[in-house]
Amino acid sequence: MAIVDYDPLTQEWVSFEWNESDETFTIGHHQDIEPVLEANKLMALDTERTQAGMKESFWHYAKIPNIIAQKWMVEKGVDLFDRNHEKAVFALLNDPEYRYLKTTHKNHSIK
Domain extents in the chain: 1-32, 33-111
In tens, the pLDDT along 95-105 reads 999 999 999 98
SS3 (DSSP) at 101: helix
Mean local confidence (pLDDT), 59-77: 94
What single string gives the DSSP state of each residue in 41-94?
HHHHH-HHHHHHHHHTT----B---HHHHHHIIIII---TT-GGGHHHHHHHHT
> Can you give the pLDDT at residue 39?
94
> Can you give the pLDDT at residue 48?
83
Full-model pTM: 0.78
Residue type, 49: R
In tens, the pLDDT along 4-52 reads 999 998 889 999 999 999 999 999 999 999 999 999 999 999 888 777 8
Q: How far apart are CA 43 and CA 51, in angstroms?
A: 12
